[in-house]
Amino acid sequence: MKTIQATQSITLNINGQTHSLDVEPRFLLSDVLRHKLGLTGTHVGCEHGVCGACTVLVDGKPERSCLVFAIQAEGSSVETIEGLSADGMTRLQRAFQEHHALQCGFCTPAFLLTATALLKQTKDPTEQDIREAISGNICRCTGYQFIVDAILAAAKGEEA
Amino acid sequence: MSDALHHLQKNALKPKYTGARVTRKEDARLLTGASRYLDDIEIPGMYEIAFVRSQRSAARICAIHLDAAQATPGVKRILTAKECPCFFGSAEDVANGVVQPALARDVVRYVGEPIVAIIAETRYAAEDAVERVQIDYEPLQPVLAMRESLLDQPRRVHEKTPNRMFHSEYQTSGFEDAFQAAPHHLVEVFQTHRQTGVPLETRGLAATIDPGSGRLTIYATHQSPHGLRGDMAVALGIEENELRVIVPEVGGAFGIKAHAYPEYLVVAYAALKYKLPVKWISDRTECLLTDVHARDDIHEVEVAFEGNGRILAIRDHLRADAGAYSAFPFCGAIGETVLASRVLTGPYTIPHLATTIDCTYSNKTPLGAYRGVWGPIASFVQEGIVDRVARALHLDPVEVRRVNMIPDELFPYTNAAGQAYDRGSYRASLEKALEMLNYDELRAQQKTLRDHGKYIGIGISAFVEPTAMAQSEAGSVPYESATIRIEPNGSVTAAFGLGPSGQGHETTMAQLIADELGVDLKDIVVLHGDTDSAPFGGGTGGSRSGPIGGGAALKAGRAMKEKLQTLASHLLEAAKEDVQLEDGKAFVAGVPTRNFSIRELAQVAYTDVLRLPEDFPVGLEVVARYQPKRPVTFSNGTHIAVVEVDAQTGMIEVLDYVVVNDCGRLINPLIVEGQIQGGVAQGLGSAYLEELRYDDQGQVTTTTLADYLLPVATEVPRMRIAHLETPSSGEGGFKGMGEGSLIASPAAFANAVSDALEPFAFMVSALPVTPDQILAAIDRSRDSMA
Amino acid sequence: MKPAPFSYIRVATVEEAANALSEYTDAKLLAGGQSLIPLMNYRLSKPTVLIDLCGIEAFASVSLKDDVFTIRAGITHQSLHEHPLVRAYAPVLAECAGEVGHWAIRNRGTLGGSLAHADPASELPAAMVALDARFVLTSVRGERTVTARDFYLGLFTTDLAEDEILTRIHFFASSANRIHFAEIARRPGDFALSGAFVRVEESATEITWFGVSDMPYHLTLDALPVEEKARQALFTSLASTLEPLDQTVYRRKLAAVVAERAYLKGRRVQA
Ligand SMILES: Cc1cc2nc3c(=O)[nH]c(=O)nc-3n(C[C@H](O)[C@H](O)[C@H](O)COP(=O)(O)OP(=O)(O)OC[C@H]3O[C@@H](n4cnc5c(N)ncnc54)[C@H](O)[C@@H]3O)c2cc1C
Ligand code: FES
Ligand code: FES
């Protein structure tokens, strides 16, 4: 059992890199990613789990970084948009550009991570599969149609 | 003319980028998480602010206890109205003897009004202190209902000022006679409930003193950098040149970020007073409470019409609830009503109109701009009227639209409110949309399905969209500016006073300039969002950036082209008219080998200046301003929604959605379609999901996104879009289009639901319409039939 | 919206958790955090100590032996939704777990958390009531078993004592037979406006409603009328006795509709 302290040292595995840092237990993973590690591609839109803008991949699965304490992420591997983009843009990212699947871009990293996880587990998703998978991510700008088109195109391996 | 020359000129007429589905220059940084929004900006030593907000809609503040908060670890400073005596005075408020304090002083007038600002090392610590502030209130009776407020009941929101903060009347001559003489009349009360823009990035402000210049620098997520600078400077009591406004990447705006808010004054004032870098980022609940609200209107309508569906006259008493103050600098209540009253007749030749407008104060959040402002309300009323006339006469709603639609030969047309419409594709857009939908067949299907207990509804919304207005919520100036500089290496830097928030201006403006200069899109950088580098301009709002900003881009592009031609003709020893710009080169028409690259020209202009022609200024820089001749340009189009209403649950499902849009000459269809799709999604929210509800004490009960429901991917239908292009008379032939989709779509959805529920004699008269209301209406009808 | 300070303890076993829970006053268990952390972000919940159950080994296992399902409390909604044993032998549970929130919420939120949180509009507590499940509650005092039907006491209120942890859930696979489920929510992923589990046997019917009362509402009836009008009239009259927390008329109407839909689903599947 760990003992109780005001701040604790933790080690996080983010985008394949190990980071050691001190946190208050109450620090949300979203805040630590953004403000302690400078990974500001993870965005915060509600801090109560609804908007989806803070979605990151924890052990490959989409989760809300605003509903996880950073201290809980010890021992997991976290992937953010910066990790997804480490080797340049993926096919999915290129499809987003090609299909104009983003406007203000605030929701975009979270959509990309969610869709990346979807395409990993479902090779040939239907439009309905896609809409359900991204239904926990709010985009206020696009009306979703071009996002769906981009994910469909990426799934089919269509290259711009 | 030689064949080659002929070929060249033909090509020159066909722009390479303008009108093409060009992908966006902005995207790479956004897709990789590299862009910087407001909360991504870190200034060393920056403090964070959290606000103590009023939990009462109306109360006197008796005491504020700060001791426990002062003692909270991490707290640096605490401000109340005493420490921060700033205020905003919008023109409308000031006319009524009212100003809005940055921090409430003696009285609170709406839930969420800021009272105390805590500056602390982290937001966590600031919120720890917020919890420890105790405020003693003496409750006052809240003013909540528009009808009562108009009579100063139960009291005045501002003691010395009547609640009616705006009133106006208008009538076409001969109205009464025409109205009385009509064979048919109907009455209806239309109501829209409070909604708000909900950009996914919340609003906020950061401020710091720039150590170099000593100026105050503010980082704001805003639609109008220059507008904000002017307003803030006045309110802070400093000169405009002592303030620099930087607008980083903006995560959606939709009108709510065209405003300046009390918190902004507090943040900037604190930075000035304590010489600290500080920032405040709103959380979502603060947004739902205090971002300007919108759409709180009532229209009491009387309509006179003939047996063939021709509408002769509309009388409308328009009311809007302004909230506790006029939002700054744009009063939503006045904007929504006054401007709605000017387009109530929509795309129809309705000759007579009489309007009375009353706007009132209340103990609610100030009403301000949300995309479309008056448009969605006016369209809802206007298209609701048309469908009611059709139902009253047992006519097809399409027929009533055809009878009333402004025919092509009447353009330019002045409507009953005196608005001058430019040429459009009013009729054509309706017919095209019907064709895309296969309307007649669908009507037949609808009938069959109804017999099987399936309720399909078809909702038509033909709309006008006033755009590029000389004055709107963002853009107190009737023009936009563009500067173009060709850098010494031949690349192009352009700067605008616009304030984009996802519309892709870095791409569209570059498209226009690239075509003028014959350069590659990738060689152009478009700057905006910094009052140090951007030329003065109104900003983005009211669908003005395409037509007015685009006009400025064209003018500046032409001016630069002219300079390049002058320079090249001198160097090439050719006539200026013979110099063409293409592929990054200036060449003599027909002899492409006789050329100078732009890079070489730039070299001459900046370095090899002895080769410049006489009188040619060193360097390559231009500034141009574009002020359209028309005070407003009208886009138009038709939306049709097909919905199914589940008569057991009241839920609606959208089965099909068709849009025919005419915004004049298209700069980039991909971007236009994105705007349309996003607007229709918001329209679905407006019609069916989104509502800021108040309880009888004036508490907002929808303070999370689990209560304020936004459309998600499983709700929003796939849309089919067609473009018509009727150029405007303005520069480039562009018309605005940022709001039309949200102007048209709530009416389309509302009419579709009404149409589906025709067997139950129900028509949607309030938005949003909720499933429980739908079910209640069905039950009422069944009871009355039983 | 940031949580108030707390101390954090990660435990590796149920025993450690039970010890910690009895040791600290004002401590709270943290499972998936998908209900607790929003409340903490709003400072509506301010525990001084959080005991994180996520590190407990094998806290997410599912087994089926001699018709008895044993599911440990730490299983996430998504795992429950996808689990082959659950899909095969308690399909209604897999189905309704897939209706909880959105994918990202389901990837973290747990069965135990949902059952203990006792939101009246939640699918899983009602599913357990419908399945007549047994909950094993563990504390330093030992273990006790309580039926789901006795566990729920009211709005967000359960029989769980301050020092107890919900550790295992048991139910008969055979009882999952013939239970069918329907719900209506404003948008997919939202909490239900109304939902029902309906179990139809030759001679008896059970209905468990959720979203229409302060807790899952279970009742047993004789066989349902086969005739549609009569059946719907029965559902309507039963629903009229429900006491929803808001939108009374509407939710009662929906209750009758979801009951009928769950029933029809059952008839289709069983046909
Ligand atoms: C956007 C959103 C949408 C959602 N939609 C739905 C929905 O449609 N339907 C639905 O049912 N839920 C929904 N939820 C809630 C979600 O299902 C939660 O996962 C669940 O309610 C709680 O589980 P948890 O593991 O996250 O528990 P936590 O949040 O960690 O804990 C919840 C409570 O249970 C206690 N607790 C946790 N585990 C145990 C245990 N083993 N023993 C005793 N006490 C325990 C905690 O102390 C706490 O009081 C939604 C949540 C969000 C954020
Ligand atoms: S910020 Fe996490 S879901 Fe909105
Ligand atoms: S692109 Fe702006 S919220 Fe999605």
CA A98, B511, B584, B3 dihedral sign is positive
Q: Which residues of C43-78 are buried (b: 16+ CB within 10 A; e: fewer)?
A: eebebebbbbbbbbeebbebeeeeeebebbbbbbbb
CB B586 within 8 A of CB B666: no
Q: Indicate the residue of C4, C189, C247 with minimum beta-carbon distance to B772.
A: C247
CA–CA separation, B470 and A74 (whole Å): 56
CA–CA separation, B169 and B158 (whole Å): 24
3-state secondary structure of B628: coil
Looking up residue A141, the CATH number of its domain turns out to be: 1.10.150.120
Q: Do domains C62-175 and C178-270 have the same CATH topology?
A: no
The tokens 């369209």 sit on which residue?
A: B379
pLDDT at B150: 96
Distances (CA, A) of C209 to B293, C237, C241, C258: 37, 14, 12, 9
pLDDT at B545: 87
The answer to whether residue A3 sits within a structural domain is no
pLDDT at B4: 47
Omega cis (within 30) before B768? yes
Average pLDDT over residues C14-23: 97
- Interior CA angle at B301 toward B175 and B646, to 5°? 145
pLDDT at C188: 83
Please check whether residues A41 and A107 belong to one and the same domain. no
- Tell me which residue has its CA closest to atom 3 in ligand 3: A139
Which residues in chain C have Cβ-Cβ distances shorter than 8 Å to B779? 253
CA–CA separation, A26 and C6 (whole Å): 6
Neighbours of A152 (CB within 10 A): 18
CA–CA separation, B232 and B263 (whole Å): 11
Name the domain count of chain A: 2
Is residue B185 classed exposed, middle or buried when 0-12, 13-18 and 19+ CB atoms within 10 A define those classes? middle
Pocket flag, ligand 2, residue A46 (CB < 6 Å) = yes
CA–CA separation, C147 and B42 (whole Å): 54
The answer to whether residue A36 sits within a structural domain is yes
The tokens 């430019």 sit on which residue?
A: B422
Pocket flag, ligand 2, residue A25 (CB < 6 Å) = no
Summarised one tens digit per residue, pLDDT across range C241-254 is 999 999 999 999 99
For residue B573, the one-letter residue type is E
3-state secondary structure of B579: strand
3-state secondary structure of B163: coil
Summarised one tens digit per residue, pLDDT across range B421-447 is 999 999 999 999 999 999 999 999 999
3-state secondary structure of C117: helix
Residue ranges lining ligand 1, Cβ < 6 Å: A 49-50; C 28-36, 38, 53, 73, 100-101, 105, 109-110, 112-114, 116-117, 119, 122-124, 160, 165-166, 190-191
Using pLDDT thresholds of 50, 70 and 90, give the confidence band for residue C123. Answer: very high
- Interior CA angle at C179 toward C174 and C184, to 5°? 150
Long-range Cβ contacts of C81-84 (<8 Å, 24+ apart): C81/C106
CB C72 within 8 A of CB C167: yes
CB B84 within 8 A of CB B148: no
For residue C104, the one-letter residue type is A
Q: Which ranges of chain A have pLDDT less than 70?
A: 1-5, 158-160
Residues 6+ apart with CB under 8 A from B466: B339, B342, B343, B375, B419, B632, B633, B634
Neighbours of B534 (CB within 10 A): 23
- For the cut 90, the answer to whether the pLDDT of residue C270 exceeds it is no
Write phi, then psi, for B395 (nearest 5 degrees): -110, 155
Please check whether residues A95 and A121 belong to one and the same domain. yes
CATH class of the region C62-175: alpha beta
pLDDT at B438: 97
Helices C248-270 and C228-239: angle between axes, nearest 10 degrees: 140
Q: Which residues of C108-142 are buried (b: 16+ CB within 10 A; e: fewer)?
A: bbbbbbbbbbbbbbbbbbbbbbbbbbbbbbbbeee
Written as six digits, the tokens of A88 are: 């340049």
pLDDT at B638: 98
Using pLDDT thresholds of 50, 70 and 90, give the confidence band for residue C268. Answer: confident
Please check whether residues A78 and A111 belong to one and the same domain. no
- Tell me which residue has its CA closest to atom 11 in ligand 1: C122
CA C20, C22, C28, C32 dihedral sign is positive
Question: Bridge partners of B721?
Answer: B659
Which of A60, A84, A108 lies at the terminal end of a domain, its last residue? A84
CA–CA separation, B483 and B503 (whole Å): 20
Please check whether residues A74 and A29 belong to one and the same domain. yes
The tokens 């095969």 sit on which residue?
A: C88
* Cα–Cα nearest to B753, from B737, B740, B766: B766
- Estimate to the nearest angstrom the gap between the alpha carbon of C189 and the chain centroid: 15
Write phi, then psi, for B81 (nearest 5 degrees): -60, -30
Is residue B699 classed exposed, middle or buried when 0-12, 13-18 and 19+ CB atoms within 10 A define those classes? middle
The tokens 């202009």 sit on which residue?
A: B605
The answer to whether residue A1 sits within a structural domain is no
Q: Which residues of B624-633 are buried (b: 16+ CB within 10 A; e: fewer)?
A: bbbebebebb
Domain residues of chain C, as ranges?
7-52, 62-175, 178-270
pLDDT at C269: 79
Please check whether residues A96 and A78 belong to one and the same domain. no
pLDDT at B785: 82
Q: How far is the CA of A137 from the centre of ligand 2 (A)?
A: 9
Please check whether residues A101 and A145 belong to one and the same domain. yes
The tokens 């499983």 sit on which residue?
A: B714
Is residue C85 classed exposed, middle or buried when 0-12, 13-18 and 19+ CB atoms within 10 A define those classes? middle
CA–CA separation, B46 and B277 (whole Å): 5
**Would the CB atoms of C41 and A47 count as touching at under 8 Å?**
yes
The answer to whether residue A56 sits within a structural domain is yes
Would you tell me which residues 89-148 of chain B have a C-beta closer than 8 angstroms to some C-beta of chain C? Answer: 123-124, 127-128, 131
CB B26 within 8 A of CB B504: yes
Ligand closest to CA A44:
2
Helix (H) or strand (E) holding A86: none
Fill in the DSSP letter of residue B702: -
Would you tell me which residues 43-72 of chain A have a C-beta closer than 8 angstroms to some C-beta of chain B? Answer: 43-48, 50-51, 53
- Asked if B650 has any chain C CB less than 8 Å from its own CB, the reply is yes
Please check whether residues A116 and A72 belong to one and the same domain. no
Using pLDDT thresholds of 50, 70 and 90, give the confidence band for residue C67. Answer: very high
How many angstroms away from the CA of A97 is the closest CA of chain C?
24
CA–CA separation, B475 and B497 (whole Å): 10
CA–CA separation, A68 and A57 (whole Å): 12
CA–CA separation, B55 and B135 (whole Å): 10
Residues 6+ apart with CB under 8 A from B74: B120, B121, B122, B124, B125, B126, B128, B129
The answer to whether residue A160 sits within a structural domain is no
Per the model's pLDDT, the better-predicted residue between C226 and B126 turns out to be B126
Please check whether residues A20 and A76 belong to one and the same domain. yes
- Domain C178-270, CATH number (from 3.30.390.50, 3.50.50.60, 3.10.20.30, 3.40.50.2020): 3.30.390.50
Residues 6+ apart with CB under 8 A from B334: B92, B166, B320, B322, B326, B359
Please check whether residues A12 and A76 belong to one and the same domain. yes
pLDDT at A5: 57
ipTM (interface pTM): 0.96
Domains and CATH numbers, chain B: 3-35+479-626 (3.30.365.10), 422-467+632-786 (3.30.365.10)
CA–CA separation, C26 and C36 (whole Å): 14
- Asked if B53 has any chain C CB less than 8 Å from its own CB, the reply is no
- Asked if C245 has any chain B CB less than 8 Å from its own CB, the reply is no
Q: Which ranges of chain B have pLDDT less than 50?
A: 1-2, 4-12
HEC assignment per residue over B304-354: EECCCCCEEEEEEEEEEEEECCCCCCCCHHHHHHHHHHHHCCCCECCCEEE
Please check whether residues A37 and A100 belong to one and the same domain. no
The tokens 């071009």 sit on which residue?
A: A146
- Structural domain of residue A151, as residue ranges? 91-155
Which of A56, A84, A112 lies at the terminal end of a domain, its last residue? A84
Ligand closest to CA A108:
3
Instruction: Report pTM.
Output: 0.97
**Would the CB atoms of A145 and B718 count as touching at under 8 Å?**
yes
CA–CA separation, B174 and B41 (whole Å): 60
Looking up residue A74, the CATH number of its domain turns out to be: 3.10.20.30
3-state secondary structure of B27: helix
Tally the C-alpha atoms within 13 A of residue C102's C-alpha that lie toward its C-beta: 27
- For the cut 70, the answer to whether the pLDDT of residue C125 exceeds it is yes
The answer to whether residue A43 sits within a structural domain is yes
Summarised one tens digit per residue, pLDDT across range C136-145 is 999 999 999 9
Which residues in chain A have Cβ-Cβ distances shorter than 8 Å to B197? 140
Using pLDDT thresholds of 50, 70 and 90, give the confidence band for residue C238. Answer: very high
Neighbours of C91 (CB within 10 A): 16
Helices A145-155 and A91-98: angle between axes, nearest 10 degrees: 140
3-state secondary structure of A49: coil
CA–CA separation, C239 and B79 (whole Å): 54
Fill in the DSSP letter of residue B585: E
